[in-house]
Structure 1
Amino acid sequence: MAVDRRKLIVEAASKSFALFGYKATTMDQVAKIANVGKGTIYTFFANKEQLFQEIMNNLIHEMKMVAEEVVDPNLRFFDNLNRVLDKLLDFREEHELAIKLSQEVREINTQMALEGVQQIEKAVVGYIQQQVKKAVDKGEIKPCNPEITAFVMMKLFIALTSDWKKTHEPLEKSQVAEMLQFYLQEGLAP
């Protein structure tokens, strides 16, 4: 059975980026972890940036699959929204690369790490945007700008699940779901 060197390189690079971050990962480290010569990496990837982008593409694909797993076509839009956002936040908080990139951005603000974090956010907003469009088409929600709406939904969810607990007692998942429904579905008007 032939060894898939490209796959070995991508797996090794994923480990290295997750352990050391973007800035501290070198092609020498990746070659060592993959047990290939450094030149072998360059037969598949022109540079570290290209290799990193391959890993980010895989991460985003994995996130979309995780989101799709929890969507239930029999549920209403807001019920699915809460399930998807909850699952994606769990994924992001448990995935070593996402954690390391966020840490690297906070500590040393590496440009490529920042771009990686932004790609993750853009993918989440893009996924929610598609769901918003479907909900508008079904008449489940009012016509709106799907991209802005998706952005606000994601940011509100992050504010309730992550930012709130920095200075308050964390909200239970059911409380987050209630708040999303209250602010996004019912609104503040009497």
Structure 2
Amino acid sequence: MAVDRRELIIEAASKSFALFGYKATTMDQIAKIANVGKGTIYTYFINKEELFQEIMNRLIQELKHVAEEALDPKLRFFENLGRVLDRILDFQEEHELAIKLSQEVKEISTQMAHEGIQQIEKAIVGYIQQQVQYAVDKGEIKPCNPEITAYVMLKLFIALTSDWRNTHERLDKKQVAELLRFYLQEGLAP
């Protein structure tokens, strides 16, 4: 059976980026992990940026798959929103590359790490945007700008699950779901 060198390189690069981050990963490291010559990498990828983009594309596809698995067509929009956001957060917290990119952004603010995080956020917002539009079309929620609404939903979720715990006791998933429902579905008006 022939060895798929391209896949070996992608797997090696994924490991290297997850372990060392974007900035500290070198083509020499990737070649060593993949057990190929450095020149072999350049047969498939022009540079480190192109290889990183391939990995980001795969990560985003995997993220979308995770979100799709969380959807239950029998549930209403807000119940599904909580399920999808929970799964996405779990994915990001468990996926080594997402963790390392976040650390790299905080510690040394590497441009490519920023771009990687932005790609992930854009993909999540785009996915939620589709679900918002679908809910509007079904009459489950009021007409709104789906992109802005998706962005606000994601940022509220991040604020409740990540930012809040920086200065307060961590909220559990049930509390987060209740708060999302309160702020987004019920609203503050009496």
**What is the TM-score with the length of structure 1 in the denominator?**
0.99
1:36 is paired with a residue of what secondary structure?
coil
What residue in structure 1 maps to residue 120 of structure 2? Answer: 120
1:3 is paired with a residue of what secondary structure?
coil
Q: CA deviation at 1:79?
A: 0.2
- Amino acid of the residue matched to residue 109 of structure 1? S
What residue in structure 2 maps to residue 68 of structure 1? Answer: 68
CA offsets 1:165-189 (integer angstroms, 9 cap, x no match)? 1111111111111100000001111
CA offsets 1:91-116 (integer angstroms, 9 cap, x no match)? 10111000000000000000000000
d(CA) in 1 for partners of 2:11, 2:168 = 39
Q: CA deviation at 1:4?
A: 0.3
2:51 is paired with a residue of what secondary structure?
helix
Identity within the alignment, %:
82
- Amino acid of the residue matched to residue 68 of structure 2? E
- Amino acid of the residue matched to residue 188 of structure 2? L
What residue in structure 2 maps to residue 47 of structure 1? Answer: 47
Which of structure 1's runs of 4+ aligned residues deviate more than 6 A?
none
Give yes or no for the alignment of 1:7 onto 2:16. no
2:3 is paired with a residue of what secondary structure?
coil
2:130 is paired with a residue of what secondary structure?
helix
Q: CA deviation at 1:137?
A: 0.4
What residue in structure 1 maps to residue 30 of structure 2? Answer: 30
Give yes or no for the alignment of 1:85 onto 2:81. no
d(CA) in 2 for partners of 1:48, 1:176 = 39
d(CA) in 2 for partners of 1:100, 1:174 = 28
Q: CA deviation at 1:52?
A: 0.1
CA offsets 1:145-181 (integer angstroms, 9 cap, x no match)? 0000000000000111111111111111111111000
Where in structure 2 are there 5+ consecutive unaligned residues? none
d(CA) in 1 for partners of 2:54, 2:155 = 26
2:182 is paired with a residue of what secondary structure?
helix
1:170-181 aligned at under 5 Å gives the runs 170-181=170-181
d(CA) in 1 for partners of 2:104, 2:164 = 22
2:22 is paired with a residue of what secondary structure?
helix
What residue in structure 1 maps to residue 108 of structure 2? Answer: 108
- Amino acid of the residue matched to residue 135 of structure 1? A
**What is the TM-score with the length of structure 2 in the denominator?**
0.99
d(CA) in 2 for partners of 1:178, 1:151 = 19
